[in-house]
Structure 1
Amino acid sequence: MAQRQLNVGLIGGGGGAFISHPHQRAIHFDGTRRVTAAALHPDPETAMKEAENWAYPLKGYRSYDEMIQEELKKPVGERIDYALIVTPNHVHFDPAMKCVQAGIPVMCEKPLTVSLEESDKLVAAVKENKVPFGVAHTYLGHWTTRFSRFIVKSGLLGDVRWVDSRYLQGWMADRTEDTGNVQAEWRVDPKKSGASNCGGDIGTHALMQLRFVTGLDVTRVQAHVETFVEGRKLDDHFTTYCELSNGSKALVRATQIAIGHKNNLGIEVNGSKGTLLWSQESPEELTIMLAGQPDRTYFRGGVSPNDGFLGDVPQDLLDEPQVPPGHPEGFHDAFARLHRCFEQDVRAYLDGKPFHCDGNKYANVEDGRMGIAFIAAAIESSQADGTWTDVALTAN
C-alpha cells in the first residue's frame, strides 16, 4: 500500500524569491511530498494575494504564526508534516523556534540564524522537543559529494593534510543592491543578513562542504572579512586560514566580486596518499590524483568497486542515483535528495519511531550552528587584524 503524501508548509518564498522555486520542485520530485500551505510574505495582504495567484492550489495564510496555529487544529494527515523556511536570514529563528516548540519538523535555509545566541537556543529547543531539523546546504545533495565523503572518511587518501574549500561568485562586483535587485538588497543589510553577507551567504557552503567531505571541524581561524565595493555595508570577500580538528590546515574562502565566476563551489583535499578534486559546476564527476599514477575520474552512476583504488562501496550509496550515467543530475536533483532523506526522518518521527538526523545525509541543526560559530569567529579575528580565534564548537 502506497504511503500518503507528506504535506509541507512554506514559510517565505513570495515576492520573487529565487530559492523557494528549486525547493518546491524538489518537494514534488518524487510524488511523496507536496506543498499544501504557505505564509508567503511578511505583509498579510500580499501573502494572501500571492497565495491566490500561486502556480498550484495551496492554503494561504496571513502569517506563519497563523499557519502554525491553524494547521495544528487539523488532524494528522491533513495538517502540515514539516515546514520549509525560505525567508531572509533574520526571519529564520522565530518561525523555526515556533515550529520546533509545536512539534513540527523543520527544513530551514542557511545560514541557520543571524547570531550564535539564536543558534544555541535553537539547538537546545531541537534537542528538548526531539523533532527532525534540517538545514538546506544544497550541495551535500550531489551524489559525488556523498561519494567524496566516503572516499575521504574511508582513509583512501590517507591522513588529511590540507583542504582548500571555496565558493566564488561575481554577481556583486558592482553596486548590485542599487539596481532594484531584491536578493542583493537584503543580503547587504546587517539587520536582515546578520554580521556577514559573503561569509554567511556562501562561505557557510564552503565550510559545510569541508566538514561533510572530511568529517573534520574547523577549530580556529585567522580571517580577513573585507568589503571591496565602496559604500557597501557588509563584506563581499571572505578569507579564512583554518586549523582543523586533526591538526591539519585549510583555506575556507568565498567571494562575490570575482567577475566571470557564477556558482563556483569547489573543494580540494590533499591527503598523505592522494588528492581529491570536486567542483559544483561539474557535479557529475570527481577526480582522484595518486602519486605515480594516471588521474582517475569517477562519474556519478558509473562507479565500479574494487578497481585498484576503491575497495567495497556501500550498496546504499551505489543505489542512490535516480537516472543512468550520461543523463545528468543537477541542482534540483541535489535539493530533491535532501528532501528525500529528510522525508525518511519525518515519517519515522510521525510514526513514533527512532530517526537519525545525524548529519550523514543532510545538514542538521548542529551543522547549522557550526556555520554561525564559524562566522562569529571569523568576524572577531578579522576585527583583530587576523589574530587566531577559536571557534565555539559546542553550544553554551
Structure 2
Amino acid sequence: MSQRPLNVGMIGGGGGAFIVQPHQRSIHFDGTRRVTCAALHPDPKVAKQEAEAWEYPLVGYESYDQMIEEESKKPVGERIDYALIVTPNHVHFDPAIKCVKAGIPVFCEKPLTLNLDEAKQLVAAVEEHKVPFCVSHTYLGHWTSRFARFIVTSGLIGDVRFVDSRYLQGWLAERTEDTGSVQAEWRVDPKKSGASLCGGDIGTHALMQLRYVTGLDVTRVQANLETFVQGRVLDDHFTTYCELSNGGKALVRATQIAIGHKNDLGIEVNGSKGTLSWRQEFPEELTICLPGQPDRTYFRASVTANDGFLGDLPEDLMAEPNIPAGHPEAFHDAFARLHRCFEQDVRAYNDGKPFDCDGSKYANVYDGLIGMQFIDAAVRSNKENGAWVDM
C-alpha cells in the first residue's frame, strides 16, 4: 500500500528567487512529496499575492510565523511534514529554530546561519527536540559524489595526502549588485550574507565536498580573503590552506570573479596509491589515475564491481534509482536525491522510529555548524595576516 505524500511548507522563494525552482521541482520529483503551503515574502500582502499567483495551488501564509503556528496545530498527516527554508542567509536561523521547537523537521539552504553563535544555538535546539535537519549542500546528491566517497573512504586510492577542493564562478567579476540583481545585492551585504561573501556562499560547498568525499575533517586553517571588485565590502576571492584530521593537507578555495567559470565545483584527491578527480559540471563521470596504468573514467549507471580496481560495491549505492547511462542526471536529480533521503528520515520521525540523519546521505546540522566554524576560522586567520587558526 502506497504511503501518503509528505506535505512540505516553503519559507521564502518569492520575488523570483532562483533556488526555489530546483527545490520545488525536486520535491515533486518522485510523487511522494508535495509543496502544500508557503510564506513566500517578508511583506504579508506580497506573500499572499504571490501565493495566489503561484504556478500550482498552495496555501499562502502572510509570514513564516503564521505558517509555523497554524501548521503545528494540525495533526500529523494534515500539517506540513517538513519546512524548506530558501531565504537569504540572515533569515535562516529564526524560522529554522522556530520550526525545530515546534517539532517540524527542517531542510535549510546553506550556509546554516548568519554567524557561528546562531549555528551553535540551532544545533542545541536540534539536539533537544530531536528532529531531522538537512542543510542543502546540493552536490552531495550527485550519484558520483557518493561513488567518490566510497572509493576514498574504502582506501582504494590509499591514504589521503592532499586535496584540492574548489568552486569557481565568474558572475560577480563586475559590480553585478548595481544592475538590480537581487541575488547579488543581498550577497554583498554583510548584514544579510555574513562575514564572508565568497567563502560563505560557495566556499562552504567546497569544504563540504572535501569532508564528504574523504571522510576527513579540517583541523586548522590558514586563509586569505580578497576583494577584487572596487567598492565591495566582502571577499569575492577566498583561499584557504588546511590541515586535515589524518595529517594530510588541502586547499579549499573559491572565487566569484573568474570570468568564464559558471558553477565549477571540483575536487581532486591525491592518495598514496592514486588520484581521484571529479567536477560537478560533468557530474556523470569520475576519473581515477593509478601509477603505470591508463586512467580509468567511470560513468554513472555503467559501474561494475570487481573490475581490477573496484571490489564489491555497497548494495545501497548500486540500488539507488537512476536512469540508464547516456541519459544524464543533473542538478535537479541531485536535489531530488537529497529530498528523497531526507524523506526517509522524516517518515521515520513521524512514526516515532529511529532515524539516521548521520551525514552519510545529506549534510546535517552538525555539518552546517562545521561550515560556520570554518568561515569563522578563515575570517580570523585573514585578520591575523594568514596565521594558522584552529577550527
TM-score (norm 2): 1.00
Alpha-carbon distance, 1:275 to partner: 0.1
- Structure 2 unaligned segments of length 5 or more: list them: none
**Contact 2:72–2:104 (Cα < 8 Å) also in 1:** no
The alignment partner of 2:163 has SS state of: strand
**Contact 1:378–1:389 (Cα < 8 Å) also in 2:** yes
The alignment partner of 1:222 has SS state of: strand
**Contact 2:10–2:38 (Cα < 8 Å) also in 1:** yes
Q: Distance in 1 between matches of 2:175 and 2:227?
A: 12
Partner in structure 2 of residue 260 of structure 1: 260
Partner in structure 2 of residue 135 of structure 1: 135
Partner in structure 1 of residue 155 of structure 2: 155
Are 2:325 and 1:325 aligned?
yes
Q: Distance in 1 between matches of 2:376 and 2:74?
A: 41
Partner in structure 2 of residue 56 of structure 1: 56
**Contact 1:40–1:51 (Cα < 8 Å) also in 2:** yes
Q: Distance in 1 between matches of 2:314 and 2:202?
A: 31
Q: Distance in 2 between matches of 1:296 and 1:102?
A: 50
**Cα deviations by residue, 1:12-58 (Å, 9 ceiling, x for unpaired):** 00001000000000000000000001000001101000000000000
Partner in structure 1 of residue 29 of structure 2: 29
Q: % of aligned pairs identical?
A: 79
The alignment partner of 1:131 has SS state of: coil
Partner in structure 2 of residue 17 of structure 1: 17
Alpha-carbon distance, 1:374 to partner: 0.2
Are 2:366 and 1:366 aligned?
yes
Alpha-carbon distance, 1:389 to partner: 0.5
After TM superposition, list the pairs within 5 Å mapping 1:196-275 onto structure 2.
196-275=196-275
Alpha-carbon distance, 1:73 to partner: 2.1
Counterpart AA for 2:70: E
Partner in structure 2 of residue 301 of structure 1: 301
Partner in structure 2 of residue 288 of structure 1: 288
Alpha-carbon distance, 1:107 to partner: 0.3
Q: Distance in 2 between matches of 1:37 and 1:262?
A: 32
Partner in structure 1 of residue 378 of structure 2: 378
**Cα deviations by residue, 1:146-175 (Å, 9 ceiling, x for unpaired):** 000000000001000000000000000000
Partner in structure 1 of residue 126 of structure 2: 126
Are 2:390 and 1:390 aligned?
yes
Q: Distance in 2 between matches of 1:112 and 1:138?
A: 13
Counterpart AA for 2:278: W
Counterpart AA for 2:63: S
**Contact 2:166–2:267 (Cα < 8 Å) also in 1:** yes
Q: Distance in 1 between matches of 2:2 and 2:189?
A: 47
The alignment partner of 2:2 has SS state of: coil
**Contact 2:107–2:134 (Cα < 8 Å) also in 1:** yes
Counterpart AA for 2:128: E
**Cα deviations by residue, 1:114-147 (Å, 9 ceiling, x for unpaired):** 1111101111110110000000000000000000
Q: Distance in 2 between matches of 1:226 and 1:218?
A: 21
Q: Distance in 2 between matches of 1:388 and 1:246?
A: 17
Partner in structure 1 of residue 355 of structure 2: 355
The alignment partner of 1:363 has SS state of: coil
**Contact 1:168–1:264 (Cα < 8 Å) also in 2:** yes
Q: Distance in 1 between matches of 2:310 and 2:321?
A: 18
Partner in structure 2 of residue 73 of structure 1: 73
**Contact 1:300–1:321 (Cα < 8 Å) also in 2:** no
Counterpart AA for 1:339: H
Partner in structure 2 of residue 394 of structure 1: none
Q: Distance in 1 between matches of 2:87 and 2:280?
A: 24
**Cα deviations by residue, 1:256-297 (Å, 9 ceiling, x for unpaired):** 000000000000000000000000000000000000000000
TM-score (norm 1): 0.98
The alignment partner of 1:66 has SS state of: helix
Q: Distance in 2 between matches of 1:74 and 1:131?
A: 17
Q: Distance in 2 between matches of 1:76 and 1:345?
A: 15
Alpha-carbon distance, 1:185 to partner: 0.2
Partner in structure 2 of residue 173 of structure 1: 173
Q: Distance in 2 between matches of 1:216 and 1:117?
A: 24
Q: Distance in 2 between matches of 1:97 and 1:276?
A: 38
Alpha-carbon distance, 1:233 to partner: 1.4
The alignment partner of 2:134 has SS state of: strand
Counterpart AA for 2:344: Q
Counterpart AA for 2:347: R
The alignment partner of 2:191 has SS state of: helix
**Contact 2:139–2:334 (Cα < 8 Å) also in 1:** yes
Partner in structure 1 of residue 336 of structure 2: 336
Q: Distance in 2 between matches of 1:131 and 1:74?
A: 17
Q: Distance in 2 between matches of 1:322 and 1:306?
A: 21
Alpha-carbon distance, 1:74 to partner: 1.9
**Contact 1:269–1:277 (Cα < 8 Å) also in 2:** yes
The alignment partner of 1:7 has SS state of: strand
Q: Distance in 2 between matches of 1:321 and 1:80?
A: 26
- Structure 1 unaligned segments of length 5 or more: list them: 392-396
What is the alpha-carbon root mean square deviation over aligned residues?
0.5
After TM superposition, list the pairs within 5 Å mapping 1:102-121 onto structure 2.
102-121=102-121
Q: Which runs of 4+ in 1 moved over 4 A?
A: none
The alignment partner of 2:228 has SS state of: coil
- Bigger mean CA deviation after superposition, 316-325 or 241-250: 316-325
- Number of equivalences: 391
The alignment partner of 1:56 has SS state of: coil
**Contact 1:143–1:321 (Cα < 8 Å) also in 2:** no
The alignment partner of 2:23 has SS state of: helix
